[in-house]
A and B are shown apart, each in its own frame.
Chain A
Amino acid sequence: MKNNLKLLILISLASPILALAGDAGTALKTDSIRAEPFADAKTVGSINKNDSVDILTKKGAWLQVKTKKTKGWVRLLSVKRGGTSSSGSSIADIASGRAGTGKVVSTTGIRGLSAEDLKAAKFNEEEMKKMESHTLSQADGKSFAKAGGLSAVKMAYLKGVK
């Protein structure tokens, strides 16, 4: 009983902390912040690209975020997790800097896959046969889906946006 109580206290202490802390996030684009997680909900503010936000929670396609000025819901794909430091520009740094030494990068001892590995790779019939042995039919896929309560949904492909 005592232990249970302790546990309860622990949980009740811990959860608000988790909820308040929030993950750091960064806006990927300009978007509206809304009062509710719906497209037609009232706009209560906005985010601009590279703004820092605190991600409070996720609900469907929406994230509840807190900015310096306000709190509300933005589209999931408008915010990435993590701070600004790892934004796109860093890619160029990698390309021109560290990786530019011409050295094989995977040298940590764990099994990577380098271009050299691939160039030297010989066709492995045994492994290929193994892979082939797992081939399933459409019907197999269907029953697997059914077992998980999945059913096919009609949806058109998305168009590219320039």
Chain B
Amino acid sequence: MQLIQSTPAALTRTLGLLTASLFAATGLHAQDLSPAASHSAYGPSPDARTPSSDTNSDLGLTRVDTAILFYQEAGGRVKATEPVTSVTFNGSDGEILSVKLTADSLTGATPNGAAPWKATQTFISPSKSKGVQTTTTSASGHSQTVTLPGTDIVASQYTADPHVLPLDYGFKDTRYAVDLGYSTPIDSVTRLSFGGGLSTERDFKSLSGSFGLARDLFDKNTTVSAAVNLEYDTSNPYFGTPQPLTEMSALEKGANQTKTVINAVLGVTQVMNRNWLAQVNYSVGSANGYQTDPYRLISVVDGTAGAPVRYLYESRPKSRIRQSLYVGNKIAWGPTVTDISGRLYHDSWGINSVTAEIAERVAITSALYVEPHLRYYSQSKANFFRDYLVDGQTLPDYASSDSRLGKFTATTVGLKVGLKVTANGELYVRADSYNQVGAAHPATAIGDLKTENLFSGIKATSVIVGYTFAFQ
């Protein structure tokens, strides 16, 4: 590439005069140009979600459970692979030590929070290095994008096709977690337990600890328990924490944020008869601190057509108090065991939910069982849930378009099959299909948003394959 510049000569000067008369009204004739180098970039990546699994225990044995979970959301969204290994040491005096190691690998796309629209939408976010996309000049008729200030953080952009839920494809993370638990009898009717956990990923760290006490009453027919759990989370989003309800931008944002959670559970487990065990739990918890999704947006739309005008970062309250009441029953009917449970939930964000679940374990042979299960869940929306905000209206203090805070119902249908392959070893496979249904076309939708699907909930499939065995 060669750069030329000197003083204007004949043709150019004449052309300048001719052009000036073509645009009789233009009053500018100075320019300042200098070449500069180009950069390079990679995309950012947002938040993570955590599936879970559980452990078994047998007196006097050491049990190892190794499983791998595959989780896939429909529509090319989140995909996770999660290997889990847990080891439970059951001491001869009733003490139990468990260690669980988890590694999560998440990829895919996650809804960025903006509402779908009939035309292509472009989103801009911070990114580092490689191939700066600036506005380009070209002979090919392409015009490209993004003009940048002189910092290392540059803009990257992605688009959402017309009528398609905007997804952020920069979603990729790996999470590692360690959970430790120890429980021991302190007398013939009282059991004490402690636990601790650490989970870390690129932009989020969580530290937790728990303490619990359980006491058997009435000849061990009744057990009452109480537990307290504390959690401390640090969120350090890629390129900083945005100021809630400010415009999406490629600028570097604010400092790390933290959250503390304290949760208490009171429970009663009652042997109703030889074949029936019932449990009631009441839980109350309080979370304080940063609970906003730092990557999630909310569209601000034009009040008549519904066209996107700008995109703001979402905002959630700093405090959330949750309560729930759970009732569970385990009933043995000959060769089958039925688990039936219900849960009521309420939180200070205005979400009320109901859960009903039933699972039926049927022994086919002494070595093979199947366990179909069904779960129904329904929740009301958080009081600050909005599909979008309307331009020109006063900004609320809090707003989020996260479907998890919206009104929806969800059903899970699944089947677990277990096969005893040795005296203490079992191979199991569990498959689940999860489906959320929500308000795709709310009656209040504005203009052309009436015809867009505003519900961004998920359909997901998960499969767990595991092997558990115990030894002396």
* A, B from the same assembly: no
Q: Which residues of B contact A (CB under 8 A)?
A: none
Q: Which residues of A contact B (CB under 8 A)?
A: none
